[in-house]
Structure 1
Amino acid sequence: MPTAPVDFHHVIVRAPSSRTASGWRMVIPPADAFDPAQVRVTPVGEVRPGDTVIGTVQPHYDHLLRPLDRAQWVCYFAGTQKPQERGARPFDPAHCGWCTHNAYVLGVGAGSGYWTVDGCTTYRPDSLLLVIPADLA
């Protein structure tokens, strides 16, 4: 039987905190926003309708979404998130004015490998998201 490689993502997910390691203050989700046992680290292209995206796992990026270093950090979205009406879709700069703006700023277009999730948020092809799958919600 042929074997297929499996990618494992080395990420340490910790509970939300109002302070970063460097001391920056940030807004965190409410304590009852989600059950931590249901959270999965999911590649952006695998987000499906009904999944709830609650944050990102990413390297530090500059303003053009180029990685600055190899460190990865977890960023929870503030507030309680709603399930996705649609799943992830390939980035289309013609979708709306915000997508057109992102295409201009990022210098990417349709077929670039970038993804759009939760409205019109644009993610790099290798982005990992914190997701509560629909079947666990």
Structure 2
Amino acid sequence: MRTEPVAFHRVIVRAPSENTFSGARMIVPPADAFDPAKVRITPVSEVRAGDTVIGTIQPHYDHLLNPIDRAHWVSYFSHASKPQTADARPVDPSHCWLCTHNAYTRSIGAASGHWTVDGCTTYRPDSLLLVVPRELA
């Protein structure tokens, strides 16, 4: 029998809350924005048309911006998200003025390995997103 390794992502997903550990208030998605049981952690490159991206998973960084090896934090979008109209794709700097600006000022170009989904939000190649897959929507 052949075995294959399974990659586990070190993430703790908490329900959206208006209060943070520091006591600051945050805007959270509407209560009926998504069913928590349908949420999956998905690499940005695997987002497909029809999937609904509801948030991001970010690593902790030290003072030199090196990732710290511990659980990541979750950031939910503060609105009810809509299904994606296209699959995730590598960043195209000629897509619009914002993409051109980001490619110039932040070195997020076609060769950078960054990805985008609907809109012009760019993600690092190793980014994880909170997604409600189209099959579960």
**Is TM (by shorter chain) over 0.5?**
yes
Determine whether 1:42 maps to 2:42.
Answer: yes
Is contact 1:59–1:67 with CA below 8 Å preserved after alignment?
no
Aligned residue number for residue 13 of structure 1:
13
Structure with greater proportional strand content:
1
Mind listing any 5+ residue stretches in structure 2 that lack a counterpart? none
- Give the ranges of 4+ consecutive aligned residues of structure 1 lying more than 6 Å apart after TM superposition: none
The alignment partner of 2:112 has SS state of coil
Alignment of 1:117-128 (within 5 A): 117-128=117-128
Cα offset, 1:130, TM superposition: 0.2
Aligned residue number for residue 52 of structure 1:
52
Structure 2 vs 1, CA of residues 134 and 28 (structure 1 numbering), >3 Å: closer, same or farther? Answer: same
Alignment of 1:1-137 (within 5 A): 2-60=2-60, 66-67=65-66, 69-71=68-70, 72-137=72-137
Deviates more, 1:34-43 or 1:11-20: 11-20
Is contact 1:60–1:73 with CA below 8 Å preserved after alignment?
yes
Mind listing any 5+ residue stretches in structure 1 that lack a counterpart? none
Identity of aligned residues (%): 68
Structure 2 vs 1, CA of residues 60 and 113 (structure 1 numbering), >3 Å: closer, same or farther? Answer: same
The alignment partner of 1:111 has SS state of helix
**TM-score between the two structures when normalised by the length of structure 2:** 0.89
Show CA shifts across 1:12-35 (max 9, x none).
111100122122221100011100
Deviates more, 1:28-37 or 1:101-110: 101-110
Show CA shifts across 1:35-63 (max 9, x none).
0000000000000000000000111469x
**TM-score between the two structures when normalised by the length of structure 1:** 0.89
Which amino acid is 1:35 matched to? D
CA distance in 1, matches of 2:104, 2:4: 38
Cα RMSD (Å)? 1.8
